[in-house]
Every structure is written in structure tokens, then in C-alpha cells.
Amino acid sequence: MASTPFIPFTLLGRDMPQVAFYWSNEIEGLVSTGLHYASDEKDDSDQVWGIVLVSKCGTGFYAGWSNGEMAQSGYTEEMYTDLVEAGKAAESFAQTEAERQCAEFR
């Protein structure tokens, strides 16, 4: 199965889309597995968070992941009409990205 293509950006950086965002664990109605996913087996010092960006026109949401403020992040071009569904996708993307980063640094 092909991996989801992500549009890279730096959270709160110059290249970040000028839109509002939510951390997936803060979305009301979404049962989150935790605050973040660890990308380091030893501890959780390296974190990957689920993130949902609000579309510029406010009619939808983009799901993605982030390593935190001023750090690498990515989101998909797929637009979700429901915030909770976008949050669920963001949680999944964050978990997958944390696993990828963990495997990369083994």
C-alpha cells in the first residue's frame, strides 16, 4: 500500500499555511490515544503530534502530523468536512510518522 503524500511545512514557521489549527488530542468528541506518539523507543523526548489545519475558507479540515512548534510537519491535500474525522486521520498519521521516524533512527 502506498504511503500518503504529505505537504511539508514548519509548524509556526514561514512556510506554514496561514490558517488556524487544532492538536488532535484537543478535539472535543475525539478519543485520543494520548498527547503524542514517541519517535524514540527510549523515551518520549521526540514527539509526533496529530494536527488538523482549518481550510482558508473555513469549509473543511486537513489532517497531518507535527514534531511540534518550529519543527517539521506535514498535511495531506485530502479535505475532511468533519473535524472529528480529520482528527482521527491526524492521529493515524502521527502514529505512522512516529513509527517511521523510530525505524529511521534505529
Q: pLDDT tens for residues 41-99? A: 554 457 889 999 999 998 999 999 999 889 999 999 999 999 999 999 999 999 898 88
Whole-angstrom Cα distance, residue 37 to residue 96?
A: 9
Inter-residue contact 11 to 73 (CB < 8 Å): yes
**85 class by beta-carbon count within 10 Å (0-12 exposed, 13-18 middle, 19+ buried):** middle
Q: How many CB atoms lie within 10 A of CB 6?
A: 17
Inter-residue contact 93 to 101 (CB < 8 Å): no
Q: What's the pTM value of the predicted model, to 2 decimals?
A: 0.86
pLDDT the model gives residue 64: 97
